[in-house]
Amino acid sequence: MTRRQALKTTALVTAAAAAVPGAMAQVPVPTPIIPFSLPPLPYGFNDLEPYIDARTMEVHYTKHHQAYVDNLNKAIAATPELTGKTIEALLTHLNSLPEKTRTAIRNHGGGHYNHSLFWQMLKKNSSLPSGAFGDDLTKTFGNLSDFKNQFSEIAVKIFGSGWAWLTHDGKGLIIETTPNQDTPLSAGHYPLLGLDVWEHAYYLKHENKRADYIGDWWSVVNWEFVTDRYAKMGS
């Protein structure tokens, strides 16, 4: 194939791709960054509409999460002895990390870990909690409605930026919060469900109405994922 033919073929393929309905709705898979990289979304930017709008999803994922990944990799590059460690290992043993990059790994590593979980915790038309997890949730909080009310009340009252979590602390299910991008892992707790209440998670659609964002979020909670995490707890 000549160079002219190759260029012509490339142009035709590009034009054909642009003509495919919905092609632009596909979530781009970023070029992997070593050692950590942005995980692909399990859905398109607009798939959680109208509860979470496409533009918020795009900015949240491609800008905010990517920034955490980039800065985490810079911290690892500055402490090469940490290369190869999982994000879970880093965040579980923060106090043993070199002081010069500990804060950066806490902030940006936490941001990467929390968001990587958060994307998987979202899904339209999820089934309700079931099995052992559903039983434990009912035993601990009374019923799903009571749990949602308690969780929402705590989430809406978080001052500034942070996360609301349903975790297991080794004894049972608890609702807790973490500031900024801190993660329950650092306290030895196992995160099951997390809600990002930083303004970047909702401001484009919900403006300053955090309670409205939380109300919409319940419509896209991926209970199958949470149930599966509960089943794998401790494994």
Burial class (CB in 10 A: 0-12, 13-18, 19+), 159: exposed
Could you tell me whether strands 162-168 and 190-196 are parallel, antiparallel, or unpaired per DSSP bridges? antiparallel
Tokens 């806490």 sit on residue: 106
Q: What is the DSSP letter of 221?
A: B
Does residue 19 carry a pLDDT above 60? no
45's tokens: 């930017």
Domain ranges, ordered by start, for the chain: 54-120, 131-232
* Phi/psi of residue 172, nearest 5 degrees: 175, -175
Note the pTM of the prediction, 2 decimals: 0.85
CA distances from residue 48 to 71, 122, 195 in whole angstroms, order as listed: 28, 8, 15
Q: Domain 131-232 adopts which CATH fold?
A: minor pseudopilin epsh fold (3.55.40)
Least confident of 68-72, 102-106, 231-235: 231-235
Mean pLDDT of 101-108: 98
As a whole number of angstroms, the distance between CA 215 and CA 210 comes to 9
* Phi/psi of residue 6, nearest 5 degrees: -65, -45
> What confidence tens digit (pLDDT) does each residue in 27-70 have?
554 444 468 999 999 999 999 999 999 999 999 999 999 999 99
Residue 35 has a pLDDT of: 87
> What confidence tens digit (pLDDT) does each residue in 145-162 have?
999 999 999 999 999 999
> What confidence tens digit (pLDDT) does each residue in 173-209 have?
999 999 999 999 999 999 999 999 999 999 999 999 9
Question: What's the CATH number for 54-120?
Answer: 1.10.287.990
